[in-house]
């Protein structure tokens, strides 16, 4: 029985060689078309391959980070404009509004406190990252 199938296969494959090859090729291509997702290199990690949805997620995170940075720049420009307006008002009128001075001093002090907290967090992170000797 085993020999029968072997001779039958050899006769079919020998007589219909190109039809067998094209059938196998069709099965491989259909498997590839329906079973494999298209992939490309990641933007954030170029050594890994990602799908379209993962690439879209990476782009969304990049856009979100860019929007945060743009907002930070806008806040800095608003502060600069606010301080410039105070300087122009003081220079043209010659009078100083005490509430404006209080607002300016508190802004500078809170900015210094925030910067100091960031510096302290960085120092603590570095100290906790190094193993004790």
What gap in Å lies between CA 108 and CA 125, rounded to an integer?
Answer: 26
The residue extents of the domains of the chain are 2-36, 52-96, 98-133
> At CA 84, angle to CA 79 and CA 85, rounded to 5?
100
Determine the Cα angle at 89 with ends 84 and 91, to 5°.
Answer: 95
Per-residue pLDDT of the chain (133 residues; tens, 9 = 90+): 667 777 777 777 777 777 877 888 888 888 877 777 788 899 888 899 998 899 999 999 999 989 999 999 999 999 899 888 878 887 787 777 778 778 878 888 888 888 888 888 888 888 887 766 6
């Amino acid at each position: 029985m085993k020999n029968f199938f072997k001779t039958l296969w050899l006769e079919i494959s020998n007589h219909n060689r190109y039809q067998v090859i094209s059938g196998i090729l069709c099965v491989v291509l259909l498997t590839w078309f329906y079973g494999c997702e298209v992939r490309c290199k990641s933007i954030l990690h170029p050594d890994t391959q990602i799908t379209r949805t993962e690439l879209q997620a990476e782009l969304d995170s990049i856009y979100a980070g860019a929007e945060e940075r743009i907002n930070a720049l806008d806040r800095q420009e608003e502060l600069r404009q606010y301080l410039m307006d105070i300087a122009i008002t003081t220079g043209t009128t010659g009078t100083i509004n005490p509430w404006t001075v209080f607002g300016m001093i508190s802004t500078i002090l809170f900015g210094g406190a925030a910067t100091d907290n960031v510096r302290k967090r960085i120092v603590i992170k570095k100290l906790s990252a190094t193993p004790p000797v």
